[in-house]
Structure 1
Amino acid sequence: MDTKYGPPLDGMAVHSRELTKRFAELTAVDAVDIDVYTGECFGLLGPNGAGKSSTMRMLSCISQPTSGSLSVLGMDPRREASRIRGGLGIVHQENNLDMDLKVIENLTTYARYFGLSRSESRLRAREMLGFAQLEEKAATKAAELSGGMQRRLAIARALVNSPRMVFLDEPTTGLDPQMRHVVWERLLELKQKQTTLMVTTHYMEEAERLCDRIVIMDRGRIVAEGTPQMLIEENAGQEVVELWFADNPTDETAALLSGVSEQFDVLPDRIILYVTHGDSAVNEIHRRGLSPSRVVIRRSTLEDVFLRLTGRTLVE
């Protein structure tokens, strides 16, 4: 493994304690502890306004913390931010490609920013064209690419300096399902090569598929942390039972379900129960004399966890 940037602290690419970011009277990030291990894919999830972007900006050395300690690639961003950035790749939510340049020029020009020679830049650009499956588009202007191709180019450009850690902000937003899976395959290839990935996404399936561990933030604080499966088991059980009734559910209806599930949500149109065995739960519901008009049993997902922990109401 390249040791140009020094060994990460105890095998950690990121190590933060009490990390805080304030803007005047607003505390965007409130004393969070985050550890990202070398070679893993780490997910940072949360609703809009949860503090994800502010956290990512601090971890990627774009913004300095207000307080707390932070180590990235074994270095202190307060003293060595420029050196750390040399070992990072960043894929922003909005593509920041040079639209008037050709695909190959986007890669070679960006490589030169990191001090690579012209020959090295051309070599890395060709490698990244292959990685992104854009060889046939090398002479095409970025503006003429489809949205999916532009996204792949943005990821390829972020990798042209052979970074040890890559930050990806909503990497597949706006892509169709087929293109999303292509991007996932490229990111999983990176992980297999021990590149550390840090991802923010609103696609819970994407987080389940890619991430080894996940932190869920809400209102500037961490509300849950663990592997996707651990978070699901601890917060949503193994299965979900959704119950619709002829009349909208009430608290009285929910009271009759006491003991069937320790965790349930009463929504305007249905009741959701988080259980270990869906069929057993439904049998018990019928035994109690309840007759829902519709019943759905499905596997618990990370989206269930996300909604349980951060709420189902939009935060402006």
Structure 2
Amino acid sequence: MFILSFCLLSIIYIVKCDVTDGGKAPRIQLNDGNMMPVMGLGTFLGFDEKGQKEVREKEVELPVLWALKAGYRMLDTASAYNNEEQVGKAIQRSNVPRKDVFIVTKLGSHEQREVLSSLRASLDRLNTTYIDLYLIHNPVAYKPDKSGYDIVDYLDTWKAMEQAKKMGLARSIGISNFNITMMERLLAHCQIKPSVLQVEVNVNLAQNKLLEFTKREGIEVMAYAPFGSLFVKDSGPPPPRVNDPGLVKMAQKYRKTVPQIVLRYLVQRGVIPIPKSVRKEKIVENINIFDFELSTEEMDEISKFNKDYRVVWPSFWQDHPYYPFEKKDKPDPDLFKPKP
């Protein structure tokens, strides 16, 4: 039995180690009884000045293969990432049994009217018969041809997600980028409760109220952008940076790196980080955080960096009725917004 003390929420989580899967991250039990690793690999390549980055040959396949060999047992992808096929190929090449790999993928914003057919397409690309965790990627919907916004009630989308679970196509189902109000509405009308919420959580964005809500409702939180502004080079976003003296001191104490300290902080809060990297040495480094534990004082010190600052803030969506974030007076440029 592996015990993690999550100091900030005054909760003790009991995490069961599944040594039979060959992975390094312990597993926790979801509200539907399924077991999920407490850390995974993110596979989204992000954006550049032209928009979403194009996935080149083996650009995702190789990092996923390295991750599986390094002891990762959870992989996070999405139909929108255009890399599911490479993720599936890496799993096959790894020789890690399919039953030991926890695959997370997501329903695209333009797919919300065709949930089951979209899920089956993801299954084909991943070359698997089931998804371990299927998420609604965003409450904001696009038209099927991506020509502009669509208005699809996420309650209707969720009914189809429930059907996918009943059919065994997805073993667990959940949501991403939903706020508390949206979750309250969903919980009031659903037959099957979401098992997981995926949102941004890091030292800059603690999401304290959201974590209190999900804990109360028995929903686990998976964190994208877990490093926050740690590697940002300009002075705009709030600290910390990777050379922060306090974090460096902690890293030296435990013979770890600052990114490892930050990931460990999230795990001890009861959050499931999915750091992404295409560098083999960083992938190996990130998973090696389960051989030490931060003290209560260190957890409190790191928590002081919280400024409720979002690294991912797509305000160009804010005209949509199901936009889940705070609005800006001047929304960001609409480079990634579907054209009307």
Q: Return the index of the structure with the highest Cα Rg.
A: 1
Q: TM-score, normalised by structure 1?
A: 0.34
Which has more strand, going by share of residues? Answer: 1
Q: TM-score, normalised by structure 2?
A: 0.32
